[in-house]
Amino acid sequence: MDNFTTELEAVNTMLSAVGTSPINSLVAPLGAEATIAKNVLTETRREVLARGWTFNYETKVTLKPDTNNQINLSQTVLRIDGTTGYNTALDLVQRGTRLYDRKDHTYTITSEVTVDVIYNLDWTELPEAARRYVMIRAARIFADRVIGYNHQHAFTAVDEIQALTDLKDAEGDTGDHNMLTGNWAVARVVHRASPIRDVSF
């Protein structure tokens, strides 16, 4: 779709930032610089998504233990908050791809739990504002890693800041945040036990 930056376009933008010719496909085998660019784009996407945005954050997700009384997490889970007031008898944290109860020092969890989850989405699931920010940030990181180009940025810090500002604006438009419910500290005072996400940046 013309309205959305494709992953191939993002990689080619990164390559052009260091004066390298574009590629026609992301299917291996790729050249050395294209491989690095693709890896940097993936790393940067994961880093940006780990912050948690409206489009990759879900509240009140129910997870059930398996037959071994353990809760295994999807590979797409970047972060879990199991201490937001849902499971008062447990102190849940993510360890690898499993949930761990710090209160009882065990992976054994015998009943279903409710958590808030931040997901690592595929490139095609990202809104355009997120794609652009990831692309520009990745291009700057990539240029720093390629020998001989660390002082030759096609994108400046101002470009990256503007892209982040655009993403935050889009977040504000879709997230329905406000002063009383958009900040964890304030929300805890207003709605004592209410599991509200901290959306401050």
Domain boundaries, the chain: 7-50+122-175, 54-119
- Looking at residue 2, its pLDDT comes to 66
- Looking at residue 157, its pLDDT comes to 75
Q: 79-106 burial, b if ≥16 CB within 10 A, otherwise e?
A: bbbbbbebbeebebebeeeebbbeeeee
In this structure, the strands spanning 92-95 and 113-119 are unpaired
Classified as helix, coil or strand, 156 is coil
Q: How confident is the model at residue 107 (pLDDT cuts 50, 70, 90)?
A: very high
Among residues 1, 3, 44, 31, the alpha carbon closest in space to that of 128 is found at 3
- Region 155-167 average pLDDT: 82
- Region 112-120 average pLDDT: 94
pTM of the predicted structure, to 2 decimals: 0.78
User: Tens digit of pLDDT for each residue in 62-89?
Assistant: 999 999 999 999 999 999 987 667 878 8
- Looking at residue 186, its pLDDT comes to 40
Among residues 22, 31, 37, 44, the alpha carbon closest in space to that of 142 is found at 37
Alpha-carbon span 196 to 194, nearest angstrom: 6
Instruction: Report which of residues 200 and 150 the model is more confident about.
Output: 150
pLDDT for 50 beyond 90: yes
Q: How confident is the model at residue 155 (pLDDT cuts 50, 70, 90)?
A: low
Q: Of the given ranges (13-17, 42-46, 175-179), which has the lowest mean pLDDT?
A: 175-179
Q: Cα–Cα distances in Å, from 81 out to 93, 114, 141, 173, 190?
A: 7, 9, 29, 24, 20
Mean pLDDT of the chain: 83
- Looking at residue 83, its pLDDT comes to 66
Alpha-carbon span 51 to 200, nearest angstrom: 10
- Region 134-155 average pLDDT: 78
Residue at token pair 């499971």 = 87
Contact yes or no for 51/58 (Cβ under 8 A): no
